[in-house]
């Protein structure tokens, strides 16, 4: 089993977008989203700004305004959400800068690159719409999302 630890920014973006996907017919304020997803409102404001710039969410100004998904949940992948707030770095050269690794990754970084590529593929193949039926209740109440996501390892 591989455990991938996500940054808080990525985690919060996923919580917020799943929350919005579960409630597609309404706009929600940052404070409403923050309260339901247990995310600090000031931090969430920055995350929502990044998601808006990437056309994942749209903001509606005004008294009855707030945030909603900008597209159908089935067309937004987990990769789209994460990439909007904090892109995943693919290892393309050995960070140790050793001469013997100049033409190819060392065994350690090659293994990490392959695991990252598998993780990215999993994120690309999972949509917000696909998660909502499995969640069955609001994210904060279900307590399904933590700062760790568990994936099955290749054997």
3-state secondary structure 83-112: HHHCCCCCCCCCCCCCHHHCCCCCHHHHHH
pLDDT at position 3 is 57
Q: Are 84 and 50 in contact (CB under 8 A)?
A: yes
**Binning pLDDT at 50, 70 and 90, where does residue 101 land?**
low
Looking up tokens 């056309």 gives 55
Q: Which range of residues forms the domain containing residue 22? A: 2-87+127-146
Determine, yes or no, domain membership for 102. Answer: no
- Burial group, residue 125, by CB count within 10 angstroms (0-12, 13-18, 19+): exposed
Look at residue 42 and tell me if it is in a domain.
yes
> Which CATH number is 31's domain given?
1.10.10.10
Mean pLDDT of 65-76: 93
Work out how many domains the chain is built from and give that number.
1
Tell me the average pLDDT across 121-131: 92
- 67 is a domain residue: yes
104 domain-assigned: no
Specify which residues 60 forms β-bridges with. 66
Non-local CB neighbours of 88 within 8 Å, separated by 6+ positions: 79, 82, 116, 119, 120, 123
Q: Is residue 12 part of a domain?
A: yes
State how far the Cα of 39 lies from the Cα of 49, in Å rounded to an integer: 15
Average the pLDDT over 62-88 and give the result. Answer: 92
- Whole-angstrom Cα distance, residue 60 to residue 94? 45
Q: Is the pLDDT of residue 91 over 80?
A: no
Best-predicted range by mean pLDDT among 1-10, 55-64, 89-98, 137-146?
55-64
pTM over 0.85: no
The larger pLDDT score, comparing residue 144 to residue 82, is at: 82
Residue 129, judged by CB atoms within 10 A of its CB (0-12, 13-18, 19+), counts as: middle
């Amino acid at each position: 089993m591989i455990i991938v630890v996500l940054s808080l920014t990525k985690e919060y973006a996923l919580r917020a977008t799943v929350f919005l996907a579960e409630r597609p017919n309404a706009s929600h304020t940052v404070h409403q989203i923050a309260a339901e997803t247990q995310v600090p409102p000031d931090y969430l404001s920055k995350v929502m700004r990044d998601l808006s710039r990437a056309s994942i969410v749209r903001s509606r100004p005004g008294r009855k305004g707030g945030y909603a998904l900008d597209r159908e949940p089935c067309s937004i992948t987990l990769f789209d959400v994460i990439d909007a707030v904090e892109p995943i770095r693919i290892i393309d050269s050995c960070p140790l800068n050793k001469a013997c690794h100049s033409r190819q990754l060392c065994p350690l970084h090659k293994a990490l690159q392959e695991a990252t590529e598998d993780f990215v593929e999993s994120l690309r193949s999972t949509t917000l719409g696909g998660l909502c039926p499995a969640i069955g209740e609001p994210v904060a109440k279900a307590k399904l999302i933590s700062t760790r996501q568990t994936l099955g390892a290749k054997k």
